[in-house]
Amino acid sequence: MLRQQLIPKPHAPTLDSTTYKENNMNDFVISLIRTWVPAAVAAVVAYVITLGVEFDAAAEAQVSAAAVLVVSALYYGVVRALENKWPAFGRLLGVAKAPTYTE
């Protein structure tokens, strides 16, 4: 009984602790990077795909937008599937570490 009273109990970090804020900011930045890298890759790939193909102005905008959407979804999906099996593939999303979400 005396021993239990002498050993301090660890406490959980409070919502306003610096560590909690730093981790949340880091996770926020990581989530932004892992969102925008596939979009940038998709934009470049869509641009390369449409090089040398002639469209009128309206069709070009639609084809480019559709290509970015499809390539982005495919890129992100494939890389995430690979990352689940081999974590090093997470680097293709800009940051190998996935963000952690806490309440």
Q: What are the 10-residue block averages of pLDDT along the chain, 103 residues in total?
A: 55 50 74 94 90 85 90 95 94 90 72
| Tokens coding 33 | 């990077």
Euclidean distance between CA atoms 40 and 32, whole angstroms:
12
pLDDT of residue 103: 65
Model confidence, pTM: 0.69
pLDDT of residue 33: 94
pLDDT of residue 57: 80
Residue 96 DSSP class: S
Structural contact between residues 83 and 21, judged by C-beta atoms closer than 8 angstroms: no
